[in-house]
Amino acid sequence: MLISSTARRTEGVDRCRPGVGAHLYAATMNVNEDIDWGHGSDDEKKALDVVLGTVVETMWQDGDLQSWGLLQDVTVIEVEWKREMRSLDLWMDVLWANVSVDPVSLDRFAGEAGDRIGSRIGEVARRLGCPIVHYAYVRALPSVAPLMWRDQQAERGAMKAPVTNQAVRDYGKDFVLEDGLRFRSTAERDVYLLLKKLQTEAPAAKLEMSLLPLPSALLPNGSVREPDFLVVVNKKVGIIEVDGDRGHAGKRAHDTSRDRLFNASGVWMVEHVSTEDLDDLDGLAVRLKRWLLEVARQA
C-alpha cells in the first residue's frame, strides 16, 4: 500500500462525520447529497467512477501525459471512514480513498505523479460532493471464482501446453489456449484465427505481416498497457482491440483513453472489433484486409 506522503486535509474537514458531515459538505455542492459515503452502495460506486473519469480527463486537458498514462492502470476508487486523532482528547472520522492500481504499475505511483494524481482525486471528489481527506494506493485484486479457484490453480499447475506470451497480466482469469498462446476469451481466439488466415494470404497482396497477441508494453510515460493484438505490416504498426466479450467487461468506457494513449506513443492505427462483428466472419475479413492495407500505407 502506498499512502499519501502528507496529510491531505480539506477545508471544513471537521464536518466529515459519517452520515452527517458528508451530507453537509455535499449539500453545499448540490451533487451526490443523498449518498451515505463509505458503505459501497451502487450510487457511491457510480459517483466515484465519475470522479475517476473526471480526473483522467482533466489530466489530459492539462497535458500531463505521465499522470494520465498512470491513471489507465487505476481500476477503481473505493472509500472508507477511518478514525484519526486530532489532539489528545479529540478523535474524528475522516474519509479515505483507496485507489486500486494494477500491481505491475503500483510502484510508479510512489513519485511526484502519484502525488499529483492523489491531490487531483481529492480536489475533484470534494467539488463533486465526496469529502475525501486522505488517499492510499492499493494493489488491485484479481477476480477469483468462488469455490472454483482450487481447481483453476490445479489446472494451471498441470498445464502441459507451452505458453509463449508470458507478458499477459490478467493472472486471475481463465485462459483460452491456441498455438501455445493465451487468450482471455473465445472472441480474442477467434480474431486471432482470422488474422492467422489473413497472414497466409498477405504475400499475395505484397504484405509481410507479423502478429503479436496480448503483448504488454511499457510506454514512454511509464504506463503499462496490453493491447489485444499488435500487428506489424511492412514495418508499419497497428493495434486491434476486441470489445464487448467477457474478457473485456466494462472496457468500452476506456476505449477513447486507451486509443489516446496508443496515439501518444506513435501508434495511430487502432481498429476495434466487437463480438457482433464475429457473427459475419466474411465481412470482418474484408474489413480487416482493408485495414491491413491502410496500416502498410502509413507515412
Average pLDDT over residues 228-250: 80
Question: Could you report the per-residue pLDDT of 241-280, keeping only the tens digit for each?
Answer: 998 764 454 455 456 667 777 777 778 888 999 999 999 9
Q: In what order do the strands lie in the sheet with 270-274?
A: 209-213, 229-233, 236-243, 270-274
C-alpha cell at 262: 496508443
**Residues of each domain in the chain carrying CATH 3.90.1570:** 152-296
C-alpha cell at 266: 506513435
pLDDT of residue 280: 94
Residue range 152-296, CATH number: 3.90.1570
Q: Give 265 or 50, the one with higher predicted confidence.
A: 50
Residue 290 banded pLDDT, cuts 50, 70, 90: very high
pTM to 2 decimal places: 0.55
User: How many C-beta neighbours within 10 Å does residue 23 have?
Assistant: 19
Range in 32-36, 60-64, 199-203, 241-245 the model is least confident about: 32-36
Beta strands, E only, 88-159? 90-101, 132-139
Cell 465526496 maps to which residue? 130
